[in-house]
Structures are given as C-alpha cells and as structure tokens.
Amino acid sequence: MTQKLIFFDIDGTLLDDEKRLPESTRQAIADLQQAGHFVAIATGRAPFAFKSLLNELDIGTYVSTNGQYVVHNGEAIYKNPIKPDDLEALERYASERKHPLVHLSHDDWYSNTRHHPQIKAAVESLKIEREITYHPGFYETGDVYQTLLFCTGDGESEYVQAFTNLDFIRWHDYSVDVMPAGGSKAAGISQLIRHLQIPARDIYAFGDGMNDIEMLQTVQNSVAMGNAPDVVKNAARAVTKDVNADGIRHGLKMVGLL
C-alpha cells in the first residue's frame, strides 16, 4: 500500500467524552504505523496539552494551536504567532468588557486574570494536568500562537467585527479560540504537506469540531465523527460512528486504511 498521511483531531475524535483513549483507537493507530503510514495530530491544543498522548501513541508530527505551530519528528517547521500589536489591542478591548484572556505559547499557557469561574470551567473540561500561569504581561515578551477569549452567548461577534486581523472560533460555552486571520488546521496541514511532499490523494483527516470544518473541506479524504454536529458532518467526504462506538477504527475501515 502507498504510504498515507493521516491527521487526527484529539477531543471528540481520538479521545472520547471522558477524555480517554479507546483501546480500539490505540490499536488502530498502532496498525497504521506498523503498515508504514504517517500518523499526525491536528488539534486546537498547544503541544504541552497533549504531550502525554504523543508519547502514548509514539507520534512525533503534529499541527497544533489550530495550525499556528507545526512540528515534524520533533522539529518545528512552521510558526505563525499572533502579531504583538493585535494582542495589545485585544487585551485593551477585552479588558473594557471584563472578558479574561489566556495566551498559549508552545510550552505553557498564561492568564491575565488570577481566578475566574469561566476559565476554571472551560479548562477543567479539557482535563489537562497543568495549572495556568498567572502572567498578564506574557504577550508582550513571548510568542503567542493562540489566545483563549472567555465570554458567553455570541459575545465573540463584536470581536469579529472589531478585529479583521484575527479569527474567532467557539469551542466551549465559555470560551473562544483566537488566532491570526487565515490561520487554521487546514493552513497548518498545507505547510506539513509541502514539507513532506505527499500527494493530496494520500492525505486523510478525522475530526468532529467547528475548528475542523476547513480541514475536512480541504483534505481530499476527510471523515467526520458520528458525534460531530451536522455542519461538521456536511463538510466531510464521509461520516463514521461516534467516538464512543469505536468510530476511529470503523472510519479507517470505511476508507480502506485498515
């Protein structure tokens, strides 16, 4: 079989509702690797937030922070941080509305607020074993590849109008991913594909979230999870079973990779 490159989202795709890796998924990844295929992660998380999963699955290639930080075999091949001027303006705008922010580098996350119930609730849903560092001035000195904006309802809509250099995608009732305009998993994947020189026909992607839509629309062989919203399913070429019902193994069989 020709060598393929397969991208997997993490939350709701590799990990189930309880943030656990199903045994069928673990074995499916091992089977792909044994067959000689490239297996990669494509996630909104920063690298520090899925390091244990990389080790567990023996994966060294990933597209992180929704495409802004891309690594192949442990080496960063693409970095697209948010511009400092945009971060400064975002800080002022969010502060006026009392909306806290958490800035993500590749190896840590930094809050401009000491304690906030919305941050606590959203972050706890990810089950990441790493405390957020209180460092309100980090964005002035370090590279920020993604920011988490905390607001409810459609609170991000006014930000969309005010910041044309930034994109906003909601991932939680309390939180929105913020990234450079045009930055996406699809854009990060294109950087990796260019680096590896793998034909489009040999690229596959699995996802379930709103931040997966562009990836699923762009990758030639895309599969949405059964637990994905309809708008995400409609963006994919195929739909597999729910993540909680061995959806990854089923989907890989559907597309002929297992």
Catalytic residues: 9
Q: How far apart are CA 71 and CA 64, in angstroms?
A: 8
Instruction: Give the number of other Cβ atoms within 10 Å of residue 89's Cβ.
Output: 15
Place of tokens 């609730």: 121
State how far the Cα of 134 lies from the Cα of 136, in Å rounded to an integer.
6
CA separation, residue 250 to residues 57, 121, 208 (Å): 19, 32, 15
User: SS3 of 175, please?
Assistant: strand
d(CA 179, CA 182): 8
Question: Which residue from 238, 257, 249, 172 is spatially nearest to 209, judged by alpha carbons?
Answer: 172
* Of the candidates 48, 256, 43, the residue with the CA atom closest to the CA atom of residue 169: 43
Pairwise CA distance, residues 162 & 151, whole Å: 15
Tokens coding 40: 């990669």
